[in-house]
Amino acid sequence: MLAKRIIPCLDVRDGRVVKGINFEGLRDAGSILEQARFYNGEMADELVFLDISASIESRRTTLEEVLKVSGEVFIPLTVGGGISSVERARDAFLHGADKVSVNTAAVNEPELISRIAERFGSQAVVVAIDVKKVNGEYIVHTHSGKKPTAYEAVEWAHRVQELGAGEILLTSMDRDGTQEGYDNDILKRISTSVHIPVIASGGAGNLEHLYEGFTKGHADAALAASIFHFRTYSIREAKEYLRDKGIPVRL
C-alpha cells in the first residue's frame, strides 16, 4: 500500500499565513517563511501554498513569496490562487512550484485543466474543490467559497478527472477551521469513485481526525493547518500516531 501523506497548508493573505473558520474570520498564523522552514524540517510530505484572496481580487498569486518559499523547502510544493491560465501556471513553476492548484478558473473554464495537464503533465495539476452542503447536496463553490456554482461535488470530481487532473484537494467549507473532523461522507464518496488521489481538507482538530480521514474517508493524503500552525501537534507526532494505528506513512 502506498504511504499516506501529511500535508500542511499555508493559507496566505497580505504576506502572512492566516487561518479562519468556514473561510471567514481570518487570524494571523505567522510568517510565511518561518512556517515553510518549520514544515520542511518537520517531515511534512508536501507543502501547499494558497494565496486565498487572489481569485477574489482577480490577480495572480504572489510569486515573489512563492520563490522565497521554494528556496527554503525541499519537499513538493503546490501553489494555488489566481492560476487562471497556462501562462500563470508556467510562472508558478518557474518560481519553484512542483504542482499548481486550480479552482475558480477551472470551474469558469474547465478546459484549462486539460491545457495545463497537456503542457506540464497531469501529475502537476491539482484541482481544488471547495464544497458546502446546500439543501442536502454538496455544492461546489468558487472565489474562496464566496460563490456557489451549478456543480454537484461528485459530478465535478468525475469531470476534472476526465479533463486530466492528477489530484483532487477536497475541502469541506462546513468543517473548515472548526476542528470537528473531516466530512468523511463526501470524502468517501469522491475517493471511492475516482482513480486519482484525493486530499482531505477542512476540519482536522486532532490526530484521530487524520486517522478517520484515511479509514472512513478513504483519502490518499490529509491536509491540515490549525493543528500544525499553532503547534498543537507536530508532523512527527501525527505520523507516529498513524503508524501505530496501522496507517502506512513515511518516517
- Please list the active-site residues: 11, 130
- Sign, CA torsion 132/189/161/219: positive
Question: Would you call 221 helix, strand, or coil by DSSP?
Answer: strand
CB 98 within 8 A of CB 77: yes
Name the grid cell of 23: 473561510
| Phi, psi of 79, rounded to the nearest 5 degrees | -120, 130
CB 9 within 8 A of CB 223: yes
Residue whose cell numbers read 502537476: 124
Amino acid at 241: Y
Name the grid cell of 11: 493559507
Angstrom distances, CA of residue 86 to CA of 54, 56, 130: 16, 19, 22
In whole angstroms, give the CA distance from residue 176 to residue 174.
6
In whole angstroms, give the CA distance from residue 39 to residue 178.
22
In whole angstroms, give the CA distance from residue 64 to residue 98.
16
What count of other Cβ atoms lies within 10 Å of the Cβ of residue 226?
20
